[in-house]
Structure 1
Amino acid sequence: MMIKNIIFDLGNVILRLDQSATASGFKALGATNFPTLSHHSSSQTIVDYETGKISSGDFRALVRSSVGLPETVADEQFDQVWNAMLLDFPKGRLELMRTLKKDFGYNVYLLSNTNAIHIEYVDKVCLADYEEDSLHPFFDKIFYSHEIGHRKPSKAAFEHILQAQGLIASETLFLDDMLENVEAAKSCGLQAAQVDAETDLGFLQLRF
């Protein structure tokens, strides 16, 4: 079956990450207890925030309590550390999205487990060297978990994008750095592969 649609993950596929930077940052701010807090985390606080069930303010309060941050830490300091894991786009990565759309005729989508604080930072800081103020121009449609209310590896996340865009699962390729997300996509009938930010995605320019 010919691939007509490609769905990309964001973190560690299109955008480089260093999750240890956030861990180090919270410790530097005086955190006394540090559970795993990352976009891959399955902690209830992360899940609730990345599916839009709690606000950014509620998220900060819950994390402050769980990691033991001093009350003197301002929201701006918190956000700076939470965003420290977000680095940059590998050379040519975003340009490839446009090439796949324009020159190869693919429908190109983004499906990301993410949150409002991260996306504001991506738009304002990570995209500073580009002529766009958001990621939307690089894709046909973007699906952020905190906006659609579903988070990978939930099947509902994949079913949402298939239904919203009227896509045929077997004609759709999904690329993600997490094996559990790749397997979940396959269980929904999509073709899927595990890649990361260092993977050369030039193979996508060979028409399937």
Structure 2
Amino acid sequence: MIVKNIIFDLDNVLLRLDSSATAKKFQALGATDLGPLSQYSHSTPIVGFETGKISAREFRSTIRSSIGLPASVTDEQFDEAWNAALLDFPKGRLELMRTLKKDFGYNVYLLSNTNAIHVEYINKVCLKDSKQDSLDVFFDKVYHSHEIGHRKPSREAFEHVLKDQGINGSETLFLDDMPDYVDAAKTCGLQAAQVDVETDLGFLQLRF
């Protein structure tokens, strides 16, 4: 099938992660119960934060209580721990987005389950080597779950992008590291494939 549009996931596809780092940081700060963090995809406060239903202040307060974090831990220390899993972008990863747009004519989008604290950190720290301060410059449009009110793998998340851009799912390739999200995209009529941050994305330069 023809591909005119590519939708990328962010974490563990374009951005390197250390999935255990956040729990370790919170434990070092004195957290007594890391269980709520281990249920990341289903944790009520995390889902609420990543769909924009609760504020950063409410999120910090809820997580502090649920993991038994000492009251002496500051917001800055909390955010440092929360952001610890976010590492960096492999060399050439973001530049490929520009190449796909400019040289191959694809419409390139980002659809990420994320939150305000992570996005601020990515813009300030993870993008430093690229000399940019926003992911927006690399994509035709960026869709963050906390801004659109929907998380993958919900149908609403995929349909939001398709409707907002006026594009056809059958002409759109979705790339994610989570099998459930890939399957969900397919049920919405998109082409989809599972990749991760170690996958060589050079195959995308072979025009579909």
**Counterpart for residue 115 of structure 1:** 115
- The verdict on how the C-alpha distance between 1:82 and 1:55 changes in structure 2, with shifts beyond 3 A counting, is same
1:22·1:85 contact (CA, 8 Å) conserved in 2?
A: yes
* Count of aligned pairs between the two proteins: 208
Q: Deviations 1:79-133 (Å, cap 9, x if unpaired)?
A: 0000000000011100000000000000000000000000000000001111211
Structure 2 counterpart of 1:33: 33
Name the residue aligned to 1:99.
99
Distance in 2 (CA, whole Å) between partners of 1:148 and 1:38 is 25
1:43-82 to structure 2, matched below 5 A, reads: 43-82=43-82
The answer for the alignment partner of 1:86 in structure 2 is 86
SS of 1:84's equivalent? coil
TM-score, reference length from structure 1: 0.98
CA distance in 2, matches of 1:33, 1:205: 46
What TM-score does the superposition give when structure 2 sets the normalisation length?
A: 0.98
Identity of aligned residues (%): 72
Q: Which amino acid in the other structure matches residue 159 of structure 2?
A: E
Counterpart of 1:125?
125
The RMSD of aligned alpha carbons is 1.1
Specify the SS of the correspondent of 1:6: strand
> 1:183 maps to what in 2?
183
Summarize the Cα distance change of 1:32–1:38 in structure 2 as closer, same or farther, 3 Å threshold.
Answer: closer
Contact 1:39 1:46 in 2 (8 A): no
Match of 2:21 in 1: 21
Equivalent residue for 1:150? 150
SS at structure 2 position matched to 1:110: strand
Deviation at 1:39, TM superposition (A): 9.7
Stretch moving more, 32-41 or 191-200: 32-41
2-side partners of 1:111 and 1:40: how far apart? Answer: 18
SS of the counterpart of 2:131? coil
Post-superposition offset of 1:19: 1.5
SS in 1 for 2:89: coil
Q: Is the 8 A contact 1:14 1:89 kept in 2?
A: yes
Q: CA deviation at 1:38?
A: 7.0
The ranges of structure 1 where at least 4 consecutive aligned residues each deviate by more than 3 angstroms after the TM superposition are none
